[in-house]
Amino acid sequence: GAVVSQHPSRVICKSGTSVKIECRSLDFQATTMFWYRQFPKQSLMLMATSNEGSKATYEQGVEKDKFLINHASLTLSTLTVTSAHPEDSSFYICSAGSGTSTDTQYFGPGTRLTVL
């Protein structure tokens, strides 16, 4: 149980285009999902907390207009990187609460974004 999926696993896009990443909790309902960004050989940096049916809460320094987050259902949250630039290239990972424990987070497999 407690499986989180992400799609796509890899994406390459041109500068100026927008990319949408999906995060799904497959066998539980997630009231809250989290989006992280990870640079090579570094720890996970929380970008935003996504709550179902309400606006996401962004961490300091994260541009909400650039990283659009939608959490339309209890099993799906999306992150859209708008007008992507090479500096947005990174590994994006989502996590979701297990539903049985309010603390435990399970992570998706990540999405490798490369902006040319």
Which stretches of the chain bind other proteins, using CB under 8 A?
4, 6, 31-32, 34, 42-44, 46, 49, 93, 97, 102-110, 112
Which residue lies nearer to other proteins by CB, 32 or 82? 32
Which residue lies nearer to other proteins by CB, 43 or 61? 43
Q: What is the nearest approach in angstroms of other proteins to the Cβ of residue 16?
A: 27
Nearest residue to 71 via CA among 19, 21, 114: 21
Q: What is the nearest approach in angstroms of other proteins to the Cβ of residue 83?
A: 26
CA 81 to chain centre: 10
Q: What is the nearest approach in angstroms of other proteins to the Cβ of residue 49?
A: 6
Which residue lies nearer to other proteins by CB, 42 or 83? 42
Alpha carbon separation from 58 to 16, 41, 61, 66, 67 (Å, rounded): 22, 23, 8, 11, 9
CA 26 to chain centre: 15
Which residue lies nearer to other proteins by CB, 62 or 82? 62
CA 16 to chain centre: 20
